[in-house]
Structure 1
Amino acid sequence: MAVRLPRLGRRRALLSAGAGALALALLLWWLLPMGGDESPRGRVTFATGVPTGVYETYGKMLRRDLARDLPGLHVTLQHSKGSPDNVRRLAEGRATFAIAASDAVAAYQEQGGVHADRLRACARLYDDYMQLVVAKGSKVRSARDLKGLRVGVGEDDSGVQLIAKSLLKAAGLDMDRDVHAVRKGIDQMPALLKAGKLDAFFWSGGLPTTAVRTLAHDFPIRLVQLGDLIGPLHRQGGVTRYYRAASVPADAYEDMGQQDAIKTIAVPNLLVTTDRVDPALAEAVTRTVIENRDRIGVKVHAAQKVDLRTAIFTDPLDLHAGAARYYRSVKP
C-alpha cells in the first residue's frame, strides 16, 4: 500500500529535494569547467626577487600573460632576497613557482634542505651574468684589487652573495676577512656607490639590469672583467660547475660607453616548482612561459633567450610531469 505523506510533509520533502539539487548544481558549477574550458583556476604565489631586479620584472610580465591565458588563475608576486630564498620558500610550501639559479638549487640539495627532493623544474629560462660595478675612475681592474675595499656582496641568502663569495675566493680573498663586505641588495647598492659609500658591488642578473642601467645614466661607472677567475672558480668544485665563461656585450649598457665586451661568468636560471603542483597547472604555466617569450622580452630582454630547444635542460632538477607533458605535445 502506498504511503501518503501529509501535505506539510510532502512540501518539506519537495523543498529539501530542491535545496539538495541546487547545492549539487552549485558544487558541479565550481568543480567542472564551463563551456569546455579546462584551464586551471585558483590562487598561486610566484616568488621573484628584489623590487629593482630582473626576477621581479620578469614576474610582472609573466603575471600579465597568465592573466590573459589563464583567466581563472590569480597570481600573487612575492618579493624575496633572491634564488636561495626562493628555493627555500618553494620547498617549505610558501610559494608555488619561483625563478632560481641552478647553483642555488644545487646548493640547497647538497645541504640536505627540507623537501629538496620535491623540487621540480618547468623550464630553463635565461642566464644571469655576474657584474662587478665600480666608478669609472676607480683603480680596480680585477677582483684581486678589491682587498681592503668596501664591497657590496648582496644580501644574506641571496644568489649574488652565493657567487660573490666563490669569486672572491677564486681571487685569493676571503669575503669576511679581506674586504669590508656590505650586505645590501641591488635596490640599495647603486645609491651607495654613487654616494661614495661603496667602492664596488657585485650583481648577478639578466642583461640589462634596470638598476645598473639607471645608475649608468646618472653616474659614470664601468664593469670589471671576471673572466680570469673561471679556472680557479671551477677548481673549488661543488656548485661552481654551473658557472660558465661568458661576456657582457659592449652595448649592454649604452650609457657606460664600454668599447669592448667584458669577460665574466654566467649561470642558468630555472622556473622552479614542486611535485605538489597539479600537472595541468604546471603544463599551462610552462606553455605561457614559452609561447610569450617575445612579449615578455619587450621589457625583459634576457627573456628573449628562452628557447624551446634548451628549456628542457634543467639540471640539477627533473622536469615536472606537467612541464614534460607540454614539451612532448610540441615536439616536432
Structure 2
Amino acid sequence: MKTKKILRYPVIISLMLLIAGLFTSCYNQQVVIDKVPLNTPEGTNIYITGNFNNWDPGDQKYMLTRNTDGTYSILLPRGVGKLEYKFTRGDWTSVEKNECGYEIGNRSLIYGEEEAVVNQISCWGDTQPMNCTRAVMVIKKYPSNTPKEALIYIASQFNNWDPGNLKYTLKKHPKGFYYINLDKQDECMEFKFTLGDWESVETNRHNIDIENRRFCFDGRDTVFLEVNNWKSIKYRKTGKVTFVIEKLPALTKTGEQLYITGDFNNWDPGDTGYTFRSDSSGRMYYNLVSDKEMISFKITRGNWNSVEVLPSGDDISNRTYINGQADTVYLKVERWKDR
C-alpha cells in the first residue's frame, strides 16, 4: 500500500507540470487599428469578430477601446494557434471592405508571433468608398470583322467567369477603341474578352484558345491591349434604357448613393455596378443594358432595409420594363422603408 502511494506523486507532479505548461504556452494578443476611413460615423463603436466568438459581429465583449491618440485596440483572451477575424461596426452590413467597397478575405494572425498586430480599415460596408483603386483597360486593336452592334465583355473571377455579364461590358469611344473602368476587387485578376458567350471568346490568329490574361493592380492606371481574333462573331442582341429619378422622398439625404437592383443582377440591393449618377442638372440617372425581354427592378439605398416602399410604408410590387418600350423611363420614389 505504501509503495502505491509513493508512485502517485510522480504522476501528480507530471500533471501539474503539464497544466503549467499549457498556461505558459498561451499568449496575450493585442490587436490595434491605427487607421479608419474618414467617413466613419463619429462616435461609432468598432468590434472584432472571428473564429474565437462564433463570428458574432456585435459581441460586446469584443468591442475595441478608442484611445486618446485616435487608434482603437483590444487585448484578446489568452490563446494559441491561428486566429481569423474581421472588423465591424456592430453588424454584417457594416463589416470592413476593401478600398473599393468589395468583400475581403478573413484577416489572420498567430498568437504570440507579434505582441501587437496593427491593422488599417479601408472602407465599411455601409459607407461609400473614398480611395478606390481603379484601372482602365483599353482595347486599341481588335478584329476587323467585329460586328458594329456587338458588345465586348470581360469575363474574370470577379464575375464568376460569366462570358456575358452585362455589368462588365466595354464602352466604345468615338475614336473607335473599347475601354472599361475596373475597380480593384483583388490584388490580381485573370480574364478574357468575349462577344457574349464562350463560343465568341478571343483566340489567337489561328483560332486556337489562348491562356487567361493576367493583370495586377500595381499602380498603372491604364493598360492597352489587343484582341487578335474571335472564335465566332456571333453576338448577343441587347437593348438600352435610361432610368431617370425625377422625385425622391423628402428624407433623402444629399449625396446619398442610390442603386437599381433587379433580375439582371440577382437582386443585389447594393451592387456597386448599378449605382445612379447625377447629370449636370442634378437628376439621378442610370443607363441599363439588357438582353431580357422584360426587366423587373426596384430602387434602394444599398440594402433591403432601405428599399423603396409605398407612401403607407407597405412593400411595393417589382417595377417592370419591357425592353425596347422606351429610350428613357422616369421614376418617382415615394418613401424609403427605413424612413
- Length-normalised TM-score, structure 2: 0.27
Normalized per residue, which structure has more helix? 1
- Length-normalised TM-score, structure 1: 0.27
